[in-house]
Structure 1
């Protein structure tokens, strides 16, 4: 999908990622360190991580479509390079929430994981969550700079250029 109601789809998808990825990361961290929250939220957090993982490649694909329709610049290139890394962070978040879910299911069956393994899962979830949060910020910041820099991007399709 390249456009939606005349707007580049990337602009719309980005808003989902900017909200869902950090929200999922924070909720995953809460579930990792607070068992009562895990009991109530683990399935929601797993679902949110899966939605984020599905939306991430859609967002980057829509961004690549948009990249070919704006003037080239180092700021856009930086944003594209950072955006391409988001799939790794979304994947880590899915793995982290799957581990939390496994921990929750085993505890519900009376087969709790060892303290060492539970601690390792918590550390992984915190690292994946913080990494996701930071990377969403970095990607968003680079996109904002590319879009709203002193010399805004102009459309190549309209015959305009930023090389004036």
Structure 2
């Protein structure tokens, strides 16, 4: 993987993709969990945003490691790296949670469509099981989404502090 693209480090470029995708995934996952109309229309888009964001997290952390190897030792960068390494687990958890929610939703919708098409009414106690499973998965999805959103913020804040703390004391550069 290249370390620079047109003179810019790859890390901030990839990180912004990750942040945008994971924030969209967090918001989409919460809406998917609590709003059935959103779940029916856009639930799989939340899964896709979470999955692509999850795939890009290792690219971001690898490019960050490459960038930090060029910089002097710094406690702020070390903290940013530590938090960034944890981001994969939050993103993966979000993908699994919203994915499981959508799989159960899709299976229940197909079962209901087959039952209606066959003229059957499901009066068994087992018919309530998908509702209970959906409630549990919705709660888990909201919890993981909130945690992932908070962690995205924490990683970004640590990165911004690593870049910008102490900048006000630097001399102004001319020519660009």
So what's the TM-score if we normalise by structure 2?
A: 0.82
Equivalent residues, number: 153
1:71: Cα distance to partner? 1.5
Residue 81 of structure 2 corresponds to: 80
2:137 to 121, 128, 139: 121
Question: Kindly tell me: are residues 60 and 113 of structure 1, through their superposed partners in 2, closer, same or farther at Cα, counting changes over 3 Å?
Answer: farther
Q: Which has the larger radius of gyration?
A: 2
The structure with the greater share of residues assigned to helix is 2
93-102 vs 108-117, which moves further: 108-117
In structure 1, C-alpha distance between the alignment counterparts of 2:143 and 2:69, rounded to whole Å: 34
Following TM superposition, the consecutive aligned residue runs of length 4 or more in structure 1 with deviations greater than 6 angstroms are none
Residue 153 of structure 2 corresponds to: 137
1:103: Cα distance to partner? 2.2
So what's the TM-score if we normalise by structure 1?
A: 0.87
Residue 156 of structure 1 corresponds to: none
Q: CA-to-partner distance for each residue in 1:11-45, whole Å, 9 max, x for gaps? A: 10111112111111111110001111000001211
In structure 1, C-alpha distance between the alignment counterparts of 2:5 and 2:84, rounded to whole Å: 20
RMSD (Å) for aligned C-alpha atoms: 1.7
Contact 2:108–2:130 under 8 Å retained in 1: no
